[in-house]
């Protein structure tokens, strides 16, 4: 029994060490001697991009999330394949706006000009995601760095790894838990829907075919439902864009949670955070206390940035973010 217990304990300790290896390699001052100006360089590129188009903000933040949930935070989503079979080509990623990719590519070029071969695309994306939140009025926070870029990017590996707009709370918690993110982390990260837009085809079922007895989802505020129907009439071009937050769509704030309390969550997976008793208290807290939301968001983004981190020969420092080195 003692021998068996020792073996089991040693195995558990080994697994914990392996699991936390990537996390242990990350540190806020990782480039302090090798590329001390990296964050300033990236922020300048991000500012310039935002001045060109606001879409840069939600596009970059969403790109980071989609990257980390598939293969980990390794910039695998940025790879471009001549055969259209890379991660970005998967159906779930086709709606990622080009301005997010462009931000990473331009930031990488600027960093390479001063620090060639030093900073990973994965770290540049992590910095840029933090910067767009701050520049949209959100909290400032330090980013852990030291990721290497991934060596795999396949469209076939995306399905089932990203949350769907129809998910209920259990489904949301399950897919986030796979990435070591708690329910509070999930709710805080959902708050990123305070920025940006989606498309009519993602909400049509809530407006016209929710159920045989209720064509319109009864969880929707009636006035908001009418507004959505005006923006998204039946058979409209599915690529017509609608704001995720109908009140302050260009500001990172806690209004998203206030919208949920008022029945103005765009997706089922948004509104369920308020309608499910298990998550409602957190939504109420975030709706009433922006400081609580900002703190939880920083914690969740830091934990998200540790997902699937590559170190050593698990990855590389790409010269071009859109292509593997070899």
Q: Which distant-in-sequence residues (6+ apart) come within 8 Å of 40 by Cβ?
A: none
Name the residue ranges covered by the structural domains of the chain: 37-157, 169-305
- The helix/strand count (H/E) of the chain reads as 13, 2
What does pTM read for this prediction? 0.91
CATH of domain 37-157: 1.10.520.10
Strand 241-243, strand 197-199: pairing: antiparallel
Which one-letter DSSP state was computed for residue 124?
H
Catalytic residues: 66
- CA-CA distance, 107 to 313, in Å (whole number)? 24
CB 193 within 8 A of CB 301: no
Listing DSSP states for 127-177 in one string gives HHHHHHHHHTT----PPPB--BB-S---GGGTTTSS--TT--HHHHHHHHH
The values of phi and psi at residue 160, to 5°, are: 85, -5
Check the annotation: does 199 bind a ligand: no
Q: Which distant-in-sequence residues (6+ apart) come within 8 Å of 177 by Cβ?
A: none
Check the annotation: does 67 bind a ligand: yes
CATH of domain 169-305: 1.10.420.10
Check the annotation: does 163 bind a ligand: yes
Check the annotation: does 98 bind a ligand: no
Per-residue pLDDT of the chain in tens (326 residues, 90 and over written 9): 555 555 555 544 544 444 444 444 899 999 999 999 999 999 999 999 999 999 999 999 999 999 999 999 999 999 999 999 999 999 999 989 999 999 999 999 999 999 999 999 999 999 999 999 999 999 999 999 999 999 999 999 999 999 999 999 999 999 999 999 999 999 999 999 999 899 998 899 999 999 999 999 999 999 999 999 999 999 898 888 999 999 999 999 999 999 999 999 999 999 999 999 999 999 999 999 999 999 999 999 999 999 999 988 899 999 999 999 98
Neighbours of 304 (CB within 10 A): 23
- CA-CA distance, 269 to 272, in Å (whole number)? 5
């Amino acid at each position: 029994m003692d021998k068996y217990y020792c073996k089991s304990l040693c195995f558990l300790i080994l697994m914990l060490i392996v699991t936390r290896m990537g996390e242990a390699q990350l540190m806020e001052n990782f480039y302090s001697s090798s590329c001390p100006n990296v964050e300033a360089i990236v922020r300048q590129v991000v500012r310039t991009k935002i001045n060109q188009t606001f879409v840069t903000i939600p596009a970059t933040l969403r790109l980071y999330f989609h990257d980390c949930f598939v293969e980990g935070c390794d910039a695998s989503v940025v790879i471009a394949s001549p055969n259209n079979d890379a991660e970005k080509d998967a159906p779930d990623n086709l709606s990622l706006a080009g301005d997010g990719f462009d931000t990473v590519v331009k930031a990488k070029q600027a960093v390479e000009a001063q620090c060639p071969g030093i900073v990973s695309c994965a770290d540049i994306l992590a910095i840029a995601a933090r910067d767009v939140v701050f520049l949209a009025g959100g909290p400032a926070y330090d980013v852990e760095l030291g990721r290497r870029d991934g060596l795999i990017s396949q469209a076939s590996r995306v399905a089932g790894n990203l949350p769907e707009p129809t998910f209920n709370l259990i489904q949301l918690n399950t897919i986030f838990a796979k990435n070591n993110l708690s329910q509070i982390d999930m709710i805080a990260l959902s708050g990123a829907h305070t920025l940006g837009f989606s498309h009519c085809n993602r909400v049509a079922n809530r407006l016209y075919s929710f159920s045989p007895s209720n064509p319109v989802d009864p969880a929707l505020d009636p006035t908001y439902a009418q507004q959505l129907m005006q923006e998204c009439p039946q058979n409209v071009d599915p690529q017509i864009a609608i704001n995720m937050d109908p009140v302050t769509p260009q500001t990172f704030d806690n209004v998203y949670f206030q919208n949920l309390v008022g029945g103005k969550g765009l997706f089922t997976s948004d509104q369920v955070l308020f309608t499910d008793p298990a998550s409602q208290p957190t939504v109420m807290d975030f709706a009433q206390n922006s400081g609580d939301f900002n703190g939880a968001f920083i914690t969740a983004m830091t934990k998200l940035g540790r997902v699937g981190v590559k170190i050593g020969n698990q990855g590389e420092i790409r010269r071009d973010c859109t292509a593997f080195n070899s």
